Structure 1
Amino acid sequence: MRSDSVEQRLARGDTAAGQVVSRVAGIEGSTGNRHLARLLRPTVPLRDLGDLVHALCAVHGKRPDMIEDAMATSVDPIEREWLGRAAGGFADERHYLARLVSAAGPLPSTPGQAECESAFVGLRHAFGMLARSGRSGCAMGAIEALVMEWHVVRPLLDRSADRFHVAGAACTMPDSFADIVATPSMERAMAFGAQQLLVQHRGLWDLLESRAAARDASA
């Protein structure tokens, strides 16, 4: 448990942790991503939405997920309370994803499928490494970035539910950050964790965009 209060740490110049991740996500996050914008179009092929939900399920839909991994090593009670709420919300999202994958049917046939499966495994491994990082602040930065990203991605799940005739579900993921304060060293670690999470997500969107282009070319 930290000995200083939040007010004391803010007074000496430490940073509200949510500000760190918000700054990083505002610059490097998925908002405005070209492929995500395409997937939100009413005329996007169903196979591309199917590819999306299968990919998200492959990298985020298995247990233990990132948030559960981070909870296993967190000792700060404020962090753990927030992570517990995030874990509960993400469990609901996993169930939602599972229903969407079931409705979408088999993964759409795409050239280079074996390489893509390896890429999904690599992404999941990278997410797990971030969540289990022993560097103070790294895991929290990554998890808070994941929560921010999920609110960007969530409209795609609802669009998929509508197209696949699946009942929608309310999102119960937190819409604010844990009430913690980052020292300079923790701030750097949080920024690193957030940046690495966002790098991996950009890789996922690039992969899905390439898969969609490959399917279009072979049609």
Structure 2
Amino acid sequence: MTVAIANDTNDWGVADRLVQIVHADGSGTHATPERLSRGGVPIRDVADALHQLCTLHGRHPGVVDLATSATSNAAADDWLAHAGAAFVEERAYLIRVAAAAGPPPGTPGQAAAEAALATQRNAIDQLSRSIRPGCALGAAIAVTLDWPVIRRTLDAAADRMGIDIIPCTLPSPADTRQLIEAVAVNAAVERAMTFGIQQLVAQHRGLWDLVAARAESRG
């Protein structure tokens, strides 16, 4: 006898499907952010990770800023304005904590690491500038949903440096789900948003792979 499988992903709504990509493949499934959030990690490893994060997300315009310029869907305007304002604070916080942690340590293979980061930064910028409806917005959604894991690493470093931890004012997951349902009104937009989300979290995983490899090479 064939038994129907409950909770088949085909029965999920579009918001469930897209959010699950971040849950399944984002920073929360990588060991490095969790390691950096624990006490006892060498400060050089923390400083190195924060420096790499600054390279990708400490710049202006960032992912959300570029996606705002590339997105012409009025249903996304309020969410993008909220996320953009929040990331102004997040960038300033990231830069402040990174500066307190000190410069990145000398690491073998520095030239290769810089080239890898440049490639990641270029890929993120291209996603965020994409005029394919839904793609840039998908990247903005992904960085917003994945940021809480990054924030735990950042907050742990701030606490270690004696810096006040600031509130995170990014859109809530519920608000982001509402945005997805409002914008992904057809299969083409959903596919583009899926691509933007998948590629952004892939770049984050590449970042954590790089941070881990650099820490290992330093012994």
User: Normalising by the residue count of structure 2, what TM-score does the alignment of the two structures yield?
Assistant: 0.87
Counterpart position of 2:16 = 19
Q: Distance in 2 between matches of 1:73 and 1:196?
A: 17
Q: Indicate if the aligned counterparts of 2:33 and 2:149 stay in contact, CA closer than 8 A.
A: no
- 3-state SS of the aligned residue for 1:180? helix
Distance in 2, matches of 1:172 and 1:128, equals: 23
Match of 1:208 in 2: 211
Contact 1:59/1:124, CA 8 A, preserved across alignment: yes
Which one-letter code corresponds to 1:100 in the other structure? V
What stretches of structure 2 of length at least 5 have no aligned partner?
Answer: 1-11
Instruction: Show the counterpart of 1:58.
Output: 55
Summarize deviations over 1:174-207 as a string: whole Å, max 9, x none. Answer: 1131261411111111111111011111110000
Partner of 2:7: none
2:167 corresponds to which letter in structure 1?
A
Partner of 1:68: 65
Picking from 191, 196, 201, the partner of 2:194 is 191
Secondary structure (helix, strand or coil) at the match of 2:168 reads: coil
Shift of 1:211: 0.4
1:121-154 CA-partner distances (Å, limit 9, x unpaired): 2111111100111211111111111101101111
Q: What displacement does 1:16 show?
A: 6.0
Is the 1:20–1:187 Cα contact (8 Å) retained in structure 2? no
CA distance in 2, matches of 1:19, 1:78: 19
Match of 1:89 among 74, 81, 86: 86
- Write the deviation string for residues 157-183 of structure 1: whole angstroms up to 9, x where unpaired: 100001122221111111131261411
Alignment partner of 1:145: what SS?
helix
Q: Distance in 2 between matches of 1:94 and 1:27?
A: 25
Count of equivalent residues: 202
Q: Which residue of 1 aligns with 2:153?
A: 156
Structure 1 stretches of at least 4 aligned residues deviating more than 6 Å after TM superposition: none
Identity value in percent: 41
Which residue is equivalent to 1:37? 34
Structure with the higher helix share, 1 or 2: 2
How large is the RMSD of aligned CA atoms in angstroms?
A: 1.5
Q: Work out which of the residue numbers 25, 28, 31 in structure 1 matches 2:25.
A: 28
- 1:38-77 Cα offsets, whole Å, 9 max, x none, are 1122111111111111111111111111111111122222
